[in-house]
């Protein structure tokens, strides 16, 4: 099942006129590639895929399809359109979480908490960083993400689910 991608516009320049196109965000490309790579495995586990030699052919077809889709999603982008740091943090968090649904919850939660800024400080408490953890001294944004995910995983209310943490935040205004 493919996700309806939220897209953002990038400008392509041509000699005659300027054209606008859309390109999936890097997180969506990674998620779609991961889905594509695991599709043959999920089919084999479900028992709906053929067994034996046909299963190997199905797996090879899945990998080829995945590579094709990956190439199609990569477009030439102007040199000044590098992935910014916040996109890199989001990609890292998505890779760590794995589930697109859970990633969307953590994206909403940490956007509300810190707008994904690693140096964000709460003026009313000791909360700091991307996940806004209390008394956190870590300045490396990737370690902050790891600590935030570890906090959610160990907290008894959230049971390791960023969506439960997001639901708690919507009710209480904190997590």
The tens digit of pLDDT for each residue in 71-120 reads: 555 544 444 434 689 999 999 999 999 889 999 999 999 999 999 999 99
With respect to residue 2, please indicate whether it lies within any of the assigned structural domains: no
Whether 91 and 167 share a structural domain:
yes
Calpha distance 143→75 (Å, rounded): 31
More confident residue, 143 or 3: 143
Structure tokens, 88: 């890199």
With respect to residue 23, please indicate whether it lies within any of the assigned structural domains: yes
Whether 63 and 94 share a structural domain:
no
CA angle 175, 93, 29 (to 5 degrees): 135
pLDDT digit string, tens, across residues 44-53:
555 555 555 6
Domain that holds residue 139: 85-172
With respect to residue 115, please indicate whether it lies within any of the assigned structural domains: yes
Closest CA to 74 of 129, 29, 28: 29
Whether 50 and 89 share a structural domain:
no
Calpha distance 152→158 (Å, rounded): 6
Structural domains in the chain (count): 2
pTM of the model: 0.55
SS3 sequence of 41-75: HHHHHHCCCCCCHHHHHHHHHHHHHHHHHHHHHCC
Local confidence band at 55 (pLDDT 50, 70, 90 cut-offs) = low
Q: How far, in whole angstroms, is CA 148 from its chain's centroid?
A: 15
């Amino acid at each position: 099942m493919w996700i309806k991608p939220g897209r953002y516009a990038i400008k392509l320049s041509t000699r005659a006129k300027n054209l606008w196109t859309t390109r999936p965000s890097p997180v969506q490309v990674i998620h779609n590639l991961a889905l594509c790579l695991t599709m043959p495995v999920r089919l084999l586990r479900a028992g709906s895929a053929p067994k034996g030699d046909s299963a190997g052919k199905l797996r090879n077809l899945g990998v080829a399809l995945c590579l094709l889709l990956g190439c199609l999603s990569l477009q030439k982008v102007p040199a000044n359109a590098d992935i910014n740091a916040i996109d890199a943090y989001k990609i890292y968090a998505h890779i760590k979480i794995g589930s697109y649904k859970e990633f969307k919850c953590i994206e909403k939660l940490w956007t509300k908490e810190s707008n994904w800024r690693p140096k964000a400080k709460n003026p009313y408490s000791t909360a700091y960083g991307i996940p806004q953890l209390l008394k956190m001294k870590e300045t490396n944004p990737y370690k902050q993400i790891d600590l935030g995910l570890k906090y959610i995983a160990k907290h008894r209310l959230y049971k390791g689910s960023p969506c439960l943490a997001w639901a708690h935040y919507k009710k209480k205004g904190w997590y």
